[in-house]
Structures are given as C-alpha cells and as structure tokens.
Amino acid sequence: MLSLQSLNWSSIKPFPINPRNPAFWRLLSTSSAYPDSIPADYSDSDDSQDSISGRPNNFSGHKIEETVALDSAKLRVDSWISSRINGISRARVQSSIRSGLVSVNGHVISKVSHVVRDGDSVNCTIAELQPLRAEPENIPLDIVYEDDHLLVVNKPAHMVVHPAPGNANGTLVNGILHHCRLSTVCFNPESLPDNIDDDDSIDEATVFPSESSVRPGIVHRLDKGTSGLLVVAKDEHSHSHLAEQFKKHTVKRVYVSLTCGVPSPVSGRVDIPIGRDSNNRIRMVAIPGSALHGKARHAVSRYKVVEILAGGGCALVEWRLETGRTHQIRAHAKYLGIPLLGDDVYGGTKHMALSQLQSKNSSSYYGQIHQLVAKLERPSLHALSLGFRHPHKGEDLHFSQMPPFDFAEILDCLRNISSEKV
C-alpha cells in the first residue's frame, strides 16, 4: 500500500495546460490508494450530521416577549434575539427583523444592527421559512469515482459546495443535480448554519431533492477556497451510513497546506478549543481553556512538516484532524503563528507572505518572491486523501488526489528559491 511519505512531492509541479480542463486534474492524480499507515482524520469543518438531525424545528412563528437584561451597556438586537432562541441562525433572525416582525419598546424596527439596552422590552415573531432553490447547471465536475450509490468529487478551489444566501448558483450541488439528471431542488435553509456577509464557512448541510430514486446528499463540505476530495451520497441509506462513519471518526482524510513560516517543533499536536470570533462572525478562533466555559468546542489537530521552503519562509505541512470543526486547520495554523499562505481571513495575507519571505531570503530573490505572492488567490489548503467504507458493498475505498495547478505553481516557485525535505 502507498504511504504518504512515499508520495512523490517533487512531482507536484504546474502543468502548461488549462487547469479548468477536467483532464488536467486527472493528470495530477498519483494513486487511488489511501495509505494504511495514516489514522482516521476529519475535515476542516463539522462533519457529523448530529447537529442537523438534532436541530429544533424550523422556528416559524416562534415568539418571544422579554425584557432585556444585560451586564454590558448595549447589544445588537439580532445578537440578543439569537441568544434567546437556542439553535436559530442569525440570518433567520435578521430576516424576521427586516420583515417587520420585531419591535422594541412598542416600536417596530427594521435595522438588524439596532441596539438594545438593559430594560428594553422586545417582542419578536420568527418569520416563515422561505425555501432555497437549487437549479441543475451544466458545470464540469472532476468525478474521481462513481457508482449507483455515491460519487467522489475532486472539488476545485473557489467553488461553493451548496447553495446559500448569496451563493445560489454555480455550486457543487447545482452541478451534481445536472450530472444526475435531477430537477430543481427546494430545501430547508434552516439546515444551513449562520451565513453572515455571504460567508462560505458552512459546517455541513443535507441537501435532498424530492425525487425518491436518486437523491444526492452532501455528507461533508470543504470551504470555498479549499480544493480536494469529498464524497456525495446518491440515496438516503448511503447518506445515513456515511454520516455515521463521520460521526464515529472512521473516515480517513489528510490535508496538505502551504504555511507562512515553519511551525516549531516541526511536528506536533494542537489541543485548543475553537469557537466563533466575537469580533468577526465569519472567522473562528482558537481560545485556550474556552471549552470549559461553553464558548468553544473541543478541537485537536496533528501536523507534520513535509518540506521547508524558501529558506524557512514557508513550509509544506500535512494535517490530520482528531476532531472536525469549522475552519479547524486554518484557526489552529493561525494559533501556531503559521497562517496558511493566501488566507486573508486568518492572517496569511500577501503583505504577511511578502514580509516573511523577504526576511528569510536575500534580496536577489525579491523579484521571484513578488511574483509568487501576486499569484495568491485563496488559502493554500488541499484535501489530499479520502478513505471510507462503501455504504452498500462494505468494501473499503481509498482515494488520493494531488494538489491542483495553482497550489503546485506556488509550491514550484518556492522550491526554486530553496527546499529542504523533513
């Protein structure tokens, strides 16, 4: 069996062909085998479906009539209402406010940013749920494996997995509906978590059309900027079975990334809880000890440096996750002081990359450094390997897909400056 160490990392090179051509992605694949030596690991998001199946009803018509009690001087009304209804998304609350269903001290408000203070009287009715629609679209998909029950897709960077407010078209689900020859899907947007400012940081969602024979279900997801492998179920049995594998942590996955700087030590285990950043709703943050106070969720990542690049200005790092939290790799990388190259949300900005690379290399390389930094358009993160048990056949399936053109091109530029295998 192939081991991760035996993968030919030096073969990750840019190809002089169109990276949007599906044939290009297949050229980069080295093997469909998943290494036996790699333990189970989990995605850079919450993979268990429990948080969906265990959610409350859709909250339509839910009412609250309460007096605000705050320790602080003030709070946004959408934040306060969200805190009073367990499990509701902020987007759902905001929709109710904009629909004129919220009043403060007897006056209807329309601004979601309206500030409430201690002693204010709030009356709120949650608006009826408006279903989201997903239309089939003829979007080229790089399908690594397919049978009657599931398919494995190599998702390109910049593609959103499923429709959400602000991302109604061009998603993986739209492409799968066309591929499976299915009609329009209407699904409950309450199965989608908070989507503030059209962020793509979605934990997970189950998307099922009304057809009873073939119903593609998203079992897990990758962030918009992340490339790589994910599995899609075609029927409810497959979806349920795969979701259970995620829940039991038996799905095997490995990620690789390019980081700003080199972690010290070069391998380790990060056991730091992750929660929503109170100052930025689209970002997660690693907060030591916060899980004890219910403000974050237990999160553990293992990492190992594969290659030190550009004099230590960057590193090729392998990640294996013991838990699956939203943006876990990105948040833990930031906590380690090595944000992912190109990850603006978590500090891996072009300015950061430029500063880091120039500080580690002589001025003779500055021209090359400027050129490679200019190519950064997304977090340098790729879902390299995926392994799971087939929900109907019971056999173990293993897949590996090397990083795409943009990742490989930047890696090649960094190697041209210097490279040291670890």
Residues catalogued as catalytic: 223
Buried b (16+ CB within 10 A) or exposed e, 73-82: eebbbbbbbb
Distance CA 216, CA 177 (A): 8
Distance CA 160, CA 341 (A): 20
HEC assignment per residue over 319-342: EEECCCCCCHHHHHHHHCCCCECC
Q: How far is CA 100 from CA 123, 126, 127, 200, in A?
A: 11, 10, 9, 27
CB 87 within 8 A of CB 55: yes
Query: Is residue 10 within a helix (H) or strand (E), and if so which, with residue range?
Result: none
Which residues have CB under 8 Å from 227's CB, separation 6+? Answer: 154, 155, 156, 157, 381, 382, 383, 403, 404, 407
Which residues have CB under 8 Å from 143's CB, separation 6+? Answer: 151, 152, 153, 154, 179
Unique residue bearing structure tokens 């974050």:
296
Query: Is residue 244 within a helix (H) or strand (E), and if so which, with residue range?
Result: helix 236-247
Name the residue among 367, 288, 369, 289 with its Cα closest to residue 332: 288
* Residue at 315: amino acid letter: A
Q: How far is CA 80 from CA 20, 118, 136, 194, 275, in A?
A: 45, 11, 38, 15, 18
